[in-house]
Amino acid sequence: MDYYDQVRESADAVRRRIVEIPSIGIVLGSGLGGFVESIDDGVSMAFDGLPHWPASRVPGHDGRAAVGKMHGRMIIALAGRCHVYEGHSLPTVTFAVRVLGLLGVRTVILTNAAGGIHLGFHPGTLMVIDDHVNLMGSNPLVGPNDDRFGLRFPDMSQVYSPRLRGIADLAGREAGVPLVHGIYAAVRGPSYETPAEIRYLRTIGVDAVGMSTVPEAIVARHMGLDVLGLSCISNMAAGVSAQPLNHTEVVETTRRARGAFSSLLEGIVGHL
């Protein structure tokens, strides 16, 4: 069975368990999985119960999908993702977004926990991603192109939809949730960046750094999906803060920000 058929089989397995196809997909980053509790009449599915679906083993990633209603819209929210640093290939890391596309999702919201590079940020800052820099050393579209997914050379001049970014700003104002905008860089990890690397990233215009999201965004655009990216600044990057970095702090900060983040996501869904 080739990769496309594996994705299709997984999408079919989700489709058989739901009564209505979702048009909005949300991928929830470290510590943000609790958002699924906001979904009305949700159907919950463990990733390891879906064919071919890779499961993350990283703390803060629950490993389940929930499909249900929010503001009258049918959505699917993925609590957790897998990462390149776990040893997964990029096609594996982007498998879930491929499934969303074949399932019928047309808008995908990618969320993450990120390290703050911009000196005006602080832990708990919520950032709308305006653009990204791919520093992971590869691209999920490398290799033979399957035209059933999308074009060989997809345009990346507007990865993150200006319309969706405007909706995020509107939802933030209505919910009283302050937002900033910035550039996100994706690195392979799993080690955190050195202070020298952070100085380099700031020099090239990066505001936040993390270990996910960019491969998913590329694949989503390859499939013609509209993309919105949101980062929760979970810690200040190396050299910005004198404190050593650890994943426990990342998860704890995102959990503290979960209320504001959930309000923002609900508002965005309500405007879509």
118 is known as an active-site residue: no
Distance CA 161, CA 174 (A): 20
Identify the burial level of 181 via C-beta atoms within 10 angstroms of its C-beta, where 0-12 means exposed, 13-18 middle and 19 or more buried: middle
85 is known as an active-site residue: yes
CATH number attached to the domain at 3-271: 3.40.50.1580
Contact 79, 38 (CB under 8 A): no
Residue 199: partners with Cβ closer than 8 Å, 6 or more residues away = 239
From 56, 161, 234, 235, the catalytic residue: 235
For residue 13 the two structure tokens come to 């397995």
Q: What DSSP state is assigned to residue 262?
A: H
Q: What is the residue extent of each domain of the chain?
A: 3-271
- Closest of 48, 50, 47, 5 to residue 28, by C-alpha: 47
For residue range 224-246, list pLDDT tens digits in order: 999 999 999 988 776 676 666 66
Strand residues in 31-96 grouped as ranges (E)? 40-46, 64-70, 73-79
CA 4 to chain centre: 21
From 185, 208, 211, 217, the catalytic residue: 211
For residue range 185-213, list pLDDT tens digits in order: 999 999 999 999 999 999 999 999 999 99
222 is known as an active-site residue: no
How many other C-beta atoms are found inside a 10 Å radius of the C-beta of residue 250? 24
From 45, 55, 70, 113, the catalytic residue: 113
122 is known as an active-site residue: no
Return per-residue pLDDT of the chain as tens, 272 residues: 899 999 999 999 999 999 899 999 999 987 676 777 778 777 889 898 999 998 777 655 568 899 999 888 999 999 889 999 999 999 999 999 999 999 999 999 999 989 999 999 988 899 999 999 999 999 999 999 999 999 999 999 999 999 999 999 999 999 999 999 999 999 999 999 999 999 999 999 999 999 999 999 999 999 999 999 999 998 877 667 666 666 676 667 766 777 888 899 999 999 99
61 is known as an active-site residue: yes
For residue range 157-167, list pLDDT tens digits in order: 999 999 999 99
For residue 240 the two structure tokens come to 């910005």
From 55, 70, 77, 83, the catalytic residue: 83
Contact 29, 254 (CB under 8 A): yes
